[in-house]
Chain A
């Protein structure tokens, strides 16, 4: 599978990464060579193989549904780029009427 610039632009949008036109060309070539490596997988017939979900085939551990964490909002927001009154600030999403 070889990717072109338009494919890369679409992937970059899905991944929320801004890329320039020059970068898109370079990524198209890099990503295509990585996919060529990955496609060596196709040489194997995996029709009757089950996928491996966990190396030790462990099941997900469950816990009792009770509150175990205390509120530490201020501490965790201390690393935020922009907060006000306990809220994270971002550019306006909803247009004013």
Chain B
């Protein structure tokens, strides 16, 4: 997969107050990167810097190999951006608006027509072409916003809260559209809704007060923690004395959370317990869900 976007030490201050601390980010074809964080965490500022709407105080953004600061025009041709509030001209029809958008992104007359049909089909707007945007429902207006972001077939699509205000059926349609877009592009989307990110993205970056507190895969990574159940009643200090165990926490009755020391496997632990005759009834690896990871990152602070 080719790398489409690289942000290096991207930082932004407003009047001496740092709103985004130095941040590194890469996006490849096929990636759907979710920017997650509470309101005011700096998600929209990061997105505005990535699409060239806002200049970073320091750091660089490379899109398709070009520097956004020094060669903004080729970079911006490769970006489609849907801000939090869709930039719609409400007194235009959908077709007029999308043609103007295509026109401003440098498409020729023939390409405009083809791109209009394609983007309308992708966003489910075939029947709405001649309707005034102000007469459309919020869901349809959001689709028009999405259509303008992809009308020039950009390599990188940046979507700020794309499912905001949509009903469940529309949310599912937008998710499917994003996944389809990511087949040949890279997509960055922001949300403060965990389930939204979990359902759509394959990578996540969690921001808190402008700081990146977690960046990585969204797959539920295994931790060295195990939930263990014993038939026999046991003091947790006895368990903690085992050579492979780093720490033990009693969950309830005979159930414990056991953290293994580096280099020790759960099979070794189970063998030790059986040898001691403590009658093992459960040994399950604990995984961090996105919610746990988010709460750990935003309240604990560590990545």
Q: Do A and B bind each other?
A: no
Chain A residues in contact with chain B, CB under 8 A?
none
Chain B residues in contact with chain A, CB under 8 A?
none
